[in-house]
Amino acid sequence: MVKINNRVFTFVLLVLGLVASAMIFLPALIYQDTDTVFTGVEAVFGTEFASLGIFGSGQMEPSFLGIVAFILPGIAGILGLVFSKKTFVSFCLFIAAAILLFLLPTYAQATITVLGETSTLDVSWTMGSGVIIAICASIVGAVTSVLQILVPKP
């Protein structure tokens, strides 16, 4: 069996975690009906996408799960680097991040306020390129964590 240096795995874990977390700056959610695109920062921290002065406004609500979804891969990569013996924890964090990122369109909420009355919009979001890349990087990070556990050390 091929013996791979443990530092290669830790470096790959760190890069994958940071890449997945950096995808917060790319398009995350797309509303197909109007071609509206929100970056990960706008989708998870909230933003105002429409303003009609005192009459009304539309907002993306902040999402705690969305913030966690984009932070977990970075934490997993850093843990893989700092504690190379604790790769099972990195595996679990990468899997949790992939699941949360996959579910991002279901828990992202947009609200509209008209004359002081607020209502939640029923929007069918689609995933943008940033979320898709982050999911792929998280899955590859999880596989790399498993390989780091299973491959014999030199």
Judge whether residue 53 has pLDDT over 80.
no
Residue 12 covered by a domain: yes
- Each residue's pLDDT tens digit, 113-141: 888 788 877 888 889 999 999 999 999 99
Residue 114 covered by a domain: no
Cα 53 versus chain centre, distance: 33
Residue 79 covered by a domain: yes
- Each residue's pLDDT tens digit, 142-151: 999 898 888 7
Residue 1 covered by a domain: no
Residue 76 covered by a domain: yes
Residue 11 covered by a domain: yes
Which DSSP string corresponds to 50-90?
EE-TTSEEEEEPP-HHHHHHHHHHHHHHHHHHH-TT-HHHH
Residue 55 covered by a domain: no
Residue 52 covered by a domain: no
Q: pTM for the complete prediction?
A: 0.88
Q: Are the beta carbons of 152 and 41 closer than 8 angstroms?
A: no
What pLDDT sits at residue 140? 95
Domain, as residue range, for 103: 6-45+63-108+125-150
What mean pLDDT is reported for the chain?
Answer: 87
Q: How far apart are alpha carbons 102 and 98 in whole angstroms?
A: 6
Give me the number of domains the chain comprises: 1
Cα–Cα distances in Å, from 34 out to 43, 123, 124, 147?
16, 11, 12, 43
